[in-house]
Amino acid sequence: MHDRKFALVASDTEAARQALQHLRARYSDVPADQADIIVALGGDGFMLECLHRYLDRGVPIYGMNCGTVGFLMNGHHENDLPERLARAEEAVLHPLAMNAHTRDGATIQAIAINEVSLLRQEHQAAKLRIGIDGVVRLEELICDGVLVATPAGSTAYNLSAYGPIVPIGAPLLALTPISAFRPRRWRGALLPNSAAVEIEVMEADKRPVSASADFTEVRDVIRVSVREDTSIAFRLLFDPEHNLEERIIKEQFLP
């Protein structure tokens, strides 16, 4: 494992650029298209960018936190990088596949590692109908929006919307409303990861809605379908003492 070649890539922040400079002064890296491992220097947003950018290469990505939260990242330490890479444990994440249909007849496809979210575009609340596996489960949800989150994404936007934290190995998806007005007491649902979620936008002309999957935003949607895509595998590397499963458990006990 020690002889595996790695590439150092960094976000545009000053902290990440300095980290890149210091690490290259100590270690020899290779271009990303020749690497066995990508070492990403930045925050969670940059990690998501790298996962999308290098998906076709199929190599694992080891993040070092030069941002703020850094949930998907390891700690930033310059010492013993090859040894850390050799000891790192791999977590495999399957993304959500989004199909968004718009008012003008277009269909846009995208994938999301954290969540697919629908949000009202204007001052009026969204009015949504939610179906699971072809069965309408919620005839009318009046809200600011709704999201479908993976276990890895359950501690991100989903948690901010008071959705449940899902253990990384659980075969579940979180369906969480955003500022629900009616039904007021509906707090969302946990779904099997095989579920096909379909969200229909009601009164789309009067109450326009956008849909987002990671970096892809689609305006004026009328129908959005979401399901896990097990044919795509994102590979992340974590230090053994701070693996992704431990992070998700720890998140649930923070004050």
Domain boundaries, the chain: 6-93+233-251, 96-228
**CATH topology of 6-93+233-251 equal to that of 96-228?**
no
- Could you give phi then psi for residue 33, rounded to 5 degrees? -75, -5
Q: What's the pTM value of the predicted model, to 2 decimals?
A: 0.88
How far the first Cα of the chain sits from its last, in Å, is 38
Helices (H) and strands (E) in the chain, counts: 5, 17
234: how many CB neighbours lie within 10 A of its CB? 22
**Which residues are within 8 A (CB) of 228 and not within 5 positions of it... i.e. 6 or more apart?**
94, 95, 96, 97, 150, 173, 193, 194
Domain 6-93+233-251 superfamily per CATH: Probable inorganic polyphosphate/atp-NAD kinase; domain 1 (3.40.50.10330)
Beta bridge partner(s), residue 149: 115, 174
Beta bridge partner(s), residue 190: 174
* Angstrom distance (rounded) from CA 173 to CA 93: 13
pLDDT mean by block of 10 residues, the chain; 255 residues: 84 95 95 97 94 95 88 90 94 96 97 97 96 97 97 92 89 96 92 97 97 96 98 94 77 76
Q: What does the pLDDT read at residue 2?
A: 55
Which amino acids are annotated catalytic?
44
Handedness of CA 99, 100, 105, 106 (dihedral sign): negative
For 96-228, which CATH class? mainly beta
* Angstrom distance (rounded) from CA 210 to CA 227: 18
Q: What does the pLDDT read at residue 253?
A: 81
Q: What does the pLDDT read at residue 225?
A: 98
* Angstrom distance (rounded) from CA 187 to CA 175: 9
